[in-house]
Structure 1
Amino acid sequence: MSDTWYSGNATDDADQHRGWLLGHFIAPETPGAAVRNTDALEVKWGVHPEGQQRPEWTTDDRRTTMLLLVSGRFRLDLTVGSTLLERQGDYVVWGPGIDHSWQAEADSVVVTVRWPSA
């Protein structure tokens, strides 16, 4: 594979880094690391069974985040309010200083994009 492109499967590749596909933490020995390791952003493929949750809140995040629903029903709780993503393509964007937690209300797949990668 070339250092300038990579083709993979999000579900397979996500297993290597807790769901993260792109970001500063992609190790040099990881397939496609030359184009997947970046300080610009982080991309996560999240597969969450019904009932899975993050009961603790994130704190003091200094990045902007977008969460996009691929399938399922996913609740996102922010320090400024809560939202329920129910329809494919529903998404939420929040900025630095807003903490969050979440719960999969049905089997769900979400894509998370954060920038910059820190």
Structure 2
Amino acid sequence: MADNWYTGNANADSDQHRGWLLGHFIDPAKSAVRQTGALEVKWGIHPAGEQRPEWVSDDQRTTMLLLVSGKFRLDLNVGSVTLERQGDYVVWGPGIDHSWQAEEDSVVVTVRWPSIV
């Protein structure tokens, strides 16, 4: 059987790597097609009030955050944005610091590239 395909469930698979579904940290022996240095994809389920109070700083990747459901605030060192409508998203580049808070129960998809150690 070919090892270059995979089917799964984001809720079930995300608990193995803090929500991350694709990236350099996936064990290729378990799922070679999900192991990549090109990008990282995260399925994030955040209850209302959950936050990342510490800032992620000096990240040298590009990131996209996409709202699936809920209300989610992203604070950047260049401004803040609240994602409120399904499909709202924000993209930020290298060197922009960030933090976040779920203002309502929220589900978000995060894509960042490249996937680096």
Structure 2, unpaired ranges of 5+? none
CA distance, structure 1, for counterparts of residue 25 and residue 84 of structure 2: 31
Moved over 3 A (4+): none
What is the CA distance between 1:81 and its match in structure 2? Answer: 0.2
CA distance, structure 1, for counterparts of residue 25 and residue 97 of structure 2: 22
- Provide the residue aligned with 1:27 in structure 2: 27
Equivalent pair of 2:28/2:34 in contact (CA under 8 Å)? no
Structure 1, unpaired ranges of 5+? none
- Provide the residue aligned with 1:55 in structure 2: 53
- Provide the residue aligned with 1:73 in structure 2: 71
Return the structure number with greater helix share: 2
Choose the corresponding residue for 1:103, options 97, 101, 104: 101
- Provide the residue aligned with 1:2 in structure 2: 2
SS of residue paired to 2:21: strand
What is the CA distance between 1:93 and its match in structure 2? Answer: 0.1
- Provide the residue aligned with 2:12 in structure 1: 12
What is the CA distance between 1:28 and its match in structure 2? Answer: 3.1
The AA in structure 1 aligned to 2:12 is D
How much identity, in percent, do the aligned residues show? 79
The number of residues matched between the two structures is: 116
TM-score by length of 1: 0.96
Q: 1:31-88 deviations in whole A, cap 9, x for unaligned?
A: xx21000000000000000000000000110000000000000000000000000000
The alignment yields a C-alpha RMSD, in angstroms, of 0.9
What is the CA distance between 1:27 and its match in structure 2? Answer: 1.6
TM-score by length of 2: 0.96
